């Protein structure tokens, strides 16, 4: 009987450890997702800025061609 109780206690402790690890992994995944989201927002912003700069350069080039 004592052996069974010890075994149940051991299984309970293992389960607790696994739950702690799973929670830690979930927090890391959430943190990684947040970093990924922030990076994607920065990439999107940079792409929009580059498109705007490209439009302005094309307009300036066209104005120069028209002036010649």
Can you give the pLDDT at residue 9?
76
* Residue 24 DSSP class: H
pTM of the model: 0.58
Is pLDDT above 70 for 8? yes
Q: What is the DSSP string of 14-46?
A: HHHHHHHHHHHHHHHHHHHHHHHHHHHHHHHHH
* Residue 26 DSSP class: H
- Give the tens place of pLDDT for each residue, 20-56: 777 777 888 788 889 899 999 999 999 999 999 999 9
Can you give the pLDDT at residue 1?
67
CB-based burial of residue 17 (10 Å sphere; 0-12 exposed, 13-18 middle, 19+ buried)?
exposed
Can you give the pLDDT at residue 60?
96
């Amino acid at each position: 009987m004592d052996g069974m109780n010890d075994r149940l206690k051991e299984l309970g402790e293992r389960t607790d450890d696994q739950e702690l690890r799973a929670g830690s992994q979930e927090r890391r995944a959430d943190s990684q997702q947040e970093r990924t989201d922030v990076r994607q927002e920065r990439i999107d912003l940079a792409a929009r800025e580059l498109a705007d700069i490209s439009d302005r350069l094309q307009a300036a080039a066209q104005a120069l061609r028209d002036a010649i």
